[in-house]
Structure 1
């Protein structure tokens, strides 16, 4: 296979796994890389810690943000009136950090821990019956009883 085609396959695989995990495709993102010996590195690390991207990581999982609860993004409160599915990837002592599964794709949203709850059996069943199709590959959404994703895929 030509190298360019292989790179395309790798990119599509990364995008599909990010979508399966409730994230925006990597092809939509841009990244910042800094050297750890720069004088401003400690300030960057503090910012990363504040948003749950440094140190205390957690196993990502699906949860529910209770309706009417705040969801704090750098643009302000983007909370919703109804209970809504969220994907949390990290935490601080008082907040889960993640994103809404559906919506405009805002990332790094802070949800107060006491405003979040685990999925109930009906919500788990609904997720486990969900399917995402991307590039001829069918991804079946699967979560365990605690909301942790289980990856499954099949080729059509």
Structure 2
């Protein structure tokens, strides 16, 4: 009986670990027009359940011309929805000011059963956030 329970527990842990492997990685999105503007979003989901986000914008005649925004915290996955959270005491400082609490993103990838030639880039689409400019943002896995 102990062997059966140990085996089931091991399989469960491997399944949970394998699922987080699919989500973890680097995500990126860039918008640019030569000489006018450059906007970059970079998100890293680490295996240990933490994340780091960096937004950079350089806009000609903008005020200020260059802006860096940072955020960090923890992420969890349930089905294909990733929930982000930030601890006010641990994750906020002079550099990391973005509050990702109540932010959620949907993980989108090509279904393994889809045998068509369609190309679907693996991405995260932010569906909820109190950060207005991040809602409906797609960041692609690199």
TM-score band, normalised by shorter chain: under 0.3
Indicate the structure with greater helix content.
1
From the two aligned structures, give the one with the greater strand fraction. Answer: 2
Q: Could you say which structure has the larger radius of gyration?
A: 2
Using the size of structure 1 for normalisation, the TM-score is 0.25
TM (normalized to structure 2)? 0.27
